[in-house]
Structure 1
Amino acid sequence: MSRGGLSSVTIGRLAEATGLSKSGLFAHFQSREALEVALIEETARIARRHIVEPAMQVPEGLPRLMALVGRWFGWSARAGLCGGCPAAAAMFELDDMAGVVRDRLVALDDEWRELLRANVGRAMELGHLRGETDVEQIVWELWGIYLGHHSAMRFRRDRQADERAQTALIALLRRSGADPSHL
């Protein structure tokens, strides 16, 4: 899924990769949609392990927000997913479709955005960001930085992608009142 998107994963390819039978896999998943939802769930599980769980060990506020976003940038490579972020790829693959697979991906996106909102809000409560900060705008721009980073890393193979994403993140946080000494 990381390399070829959801459409590249078939029961046959999965059976071959796992050494299980096609009939056994089909009996387990019952449908292509169930398989795709399971793949999205697995992506979320891997992302939580590589992004969220380590970031939650960092002190609340701006330090945690920076850890969360910093671990988000390039997470798929650190997780061993050599084709990039499966969720980002699926968002483009499913953008014109309807159904349970897209609905689950939208829900996953909503969960991630809520986590970002909560951490931006906590940074505001602790005085790390200005109280009048537009949380929705911050989350929107974080997504833009993430997608720009992902595209630069995967498509452009830009060696400066990490540095540019970090520069954009710091500029965004400074505009929101973050103390430069904490960045």
Structure 2
Amino acid sequence: MTRDRRVVRGDQTRQRILDHAMAIASLDGLEGLSIGRLATDLGVSKSGLFAHFGSKEELQVAVIAAARDVFSREVVEPAFRAAPGLPRLVRLCEGWLEYSERRVFPGGCFFYAAGAEFDARPGRIRDLLAEARRDWLGLCRQTARDALQLGQLVEDVDLDQFVFELDALATAANSAALLLDDASAYQRSRTGILSRLRASATGPGDLP
């Protein structure tokens, strides 16, 4: 029983560290993370942090994995409560915008910020970020393909272009809201996404 309590406390401590590290990374980047900074902020020992992560890179790897879990919980899982095809695609787009707009991470989309930081820096961290990005785009593409197969999209739609444009409209809102303090950016993105969906939908009147 004592050992079980130690395991639970250890898991709780690790999660507290990761929650704080994700918030820092969304604002200051993954390179802004350090064992020393986290130890000071959280009032824990450096040796305790090393016991959980071992190195700065392992900390960064754990933070990316934790951020993926948050993204799945906030964006992907709610979308799967919608019907397959176009309703689910709409929900994925709206979920992404809500996740950024609500500042689930204080710096907006974690993966937008981290991707910009590492996009030209080959290595393990870039590979993990690229994997997360491909998985998201792949999910959107598969959902759009489902919509096509269900007859909800016109037959000649270019799925790669279609998904690229939807994603670009969403990430543009994240950037404009953060860098330009443009409070209207999310609504502009919603308007653009809806227009793009209607242009390719077989029943545009069925969209919100």
Q: TM-score range by the shorter chain?
A: over 0.9
Native 8 Å contact 2:97 2:170 kept in 1 = yes
- Which structure is higher in helix share? 2
**Runs ≥4 in structure 1, deviation > 4 angstroms?**
none
Give the number of the structure with larger relative contact order, counting CA–CA contacts within 8 Å between residues 6 or more apart: 1
Native 8 Å contact 1:50 1:79 kept in 2 = no
Q: Deviations over 1:42-81 (max 9, x none)?
A: 1111011110111100111111100011010141453632
> Partner residue of 2:182?
158
Partner amino acid, structure 2, of 1:175: A
> Partner residue of 1:128?
152
Q: What TM-score does the superposition give when structure 2 sets the normalisation length?
A: 0.82
Task: Sort the Cα spacing of 1:74 and 1:8 in 2 relative to 1 into closer, same or farther, 3 A.
Answer: farther
Q: After superposition, where does 1:54-133 map in structure 2 within 5 Å?
A: 54-78=78-102, 80-133=104-157
Alpha-carbon distance in 2 for matches of 1:54, 1:107: 21
Q: After TM superposition, give the deviation of residue 178 of structure 1 in Å.
A: 4.4
Q: Number of matched residues?
A: 183
In the alignment, which of 36, 39, 62 is matched to residue 12 of structure 1? Answer: 36
Please give the root-mean-square deviation of Cα atoms over the aligned residues, in Å: 1.5
Partner amino acid, structure 1, of 2:203: D
Native 8 Å contact 1:15 1:21 kept in 2 = yes
Task: Sort the Cα spacing of 1:125 and 1:141 in 2 relative to 1 into closer, same or farther, 3 A.
Answer: same
In the alignment, which of 50, 54, 57 is matched to residue 30 of structure 1? Answer: 54
Overall identity of the aligned pairs, in %: 39
Native 8 Å contact 2:85 2:148 kept in 1 = yes
Q: What TM-score does the superposition give when structure 1 sets the normalisation length?
A: 0.93
Partner amino acid, structure 2, of 1:131: E
Q: Deviations over 1:100-146 (max 9, x none)?
A: 11100111111111100110011111111112211111121122112
Structure 1: any 5+ residue segments left out of the alignment?
Answer: none
Native 8 Å contact 1:3 1:82 kept in 2 = yes
Greater Rg, structure 1 or structure 2? 2
Alpha-carbon distance in 1 for matches of 2:62, 2:121: 18
Structure 2: any 5+ residue segments left out of the alignment?
Answer: 1-24
Native 8 Å contact 2:61 2:125 kept in 1 = yes
Native 8 Å contact 2:39 2:45 kept in 1 = yes
Partner amino acid, structure 2, of 1:40: I
